[in-house]
Amino acid sequence: MPKHIAFDFDKTLATYNKWEGHDVLGDAIYDMVVLARRHLDAGDAVYIFTARVSERDHSPADIAKAVGAIEDWCEDVFGQVLPITACKLTRFSAFYDDRAVQVIPNQGVTVESLLHRILNVIHHDVGQTTTAIGLVESVESAESIHAALWERCMRAEASLAAGGQPHAKA
Ligand SMILES: [Mg+2]
């Protein structure tokens, strides 16, 4: 059964640092493009979900500029134009978005808080001096938690590749 999957544009599919114009777009972010490509190859419908085409935020002329630029970008990157929308459609089964805070359905629990709890358990089980939870407690925003977890994950993978333990410091 084909799925309908939405990918945010700025900071998800394409790099973004600062606003430079409706038709100024960043470079493709390789890993996320590969993921979108995999959905397309599986027969899923992939949408670009971006506020660049939000009628509440932008004039029709500016939206037209954005649509033209994103369609060209899609043609370059995917070899095809993908549908672009700023609306959350009922048929979407998943969103990839750098700003999303994922929630466990019907539980009132975020994936992030669950991660905290898991890291806590890991810490108490392993009892390391440099602890995962210490790492998380030392950062405040979701973005810095993600960055810290990412860094730790990269260190663990590098350590494993070098024949060490996953928790070893680099
Ligand atoms: Mg974004």
Question: Is residue 129 very low, low, confident or very high in pLDDT (cuts 50, 70, 90)?
Answer: very low
**Higher model confidence: residue 72 or residue 122?**
72
Average pLDDT over residues 90-114: 90
Of the candidates 85, 97, 90, the one whose C-alpha atom is nearest the C-alpha of residue 36 is 97
Give residue 154 CA to ligand 1 midpoint distance, Å.
23
- The answer on pLDDT for 44 being more than 90 is yes
- The answer on pLDDT for 135 being more than 80 is no
- Where is average pLDDT lowest: 71-80, 125-134, 153-162? 125-134
- The answer on pLDDT for 12 being more than 90 is yes
**Ligand 1 (ion): which residues have CB within 5 A?**
8, 10-11, 98
- The answer on pLDDT for 2 being more than 80 is yes
Q: Which residues are registered as beta bridge partners of 85?
A: 49
Give residue 88 CA to ligand 1 midpoint distance, Å.
14
Cβ 29 vs Cβ 14: under 8 Å: yes
Average pLDDT over residues 103-132: 70
pTM over 0.85: no
- Measured N-to-C along each axis, helices 60-78 and 30-41 cross at an angle, to the nearest 10 degrees, of 80
Q: Residues of 11-43 as b/e, b for ≥16 C-beta within 10 angstroms?
A: ebbbebeeeeebbebeebbeebeebbeebeeee
Give residue 7 CA to ligand 1 midpoint distance, Å.
9
Give residue 124 CA to ligand 1 midpoint distance, Å.
35
Q: How far apart are CA 51 and CA 71, in angstroms?
A: 15
**Higher model confidence: residue 103 or residue 117?**
103
Q: How far apart are CA 78 and CA 37, in angstroms?
A: 7
pLDDT at site 124: 56
Average pLDDT over residues 135-141: 54
Average pLDDT over residues 35-52: 97
- The answer on pLDDT for 54 being more than 60 is yes
**What would the two tokens of residue 38 be?**
């995999």
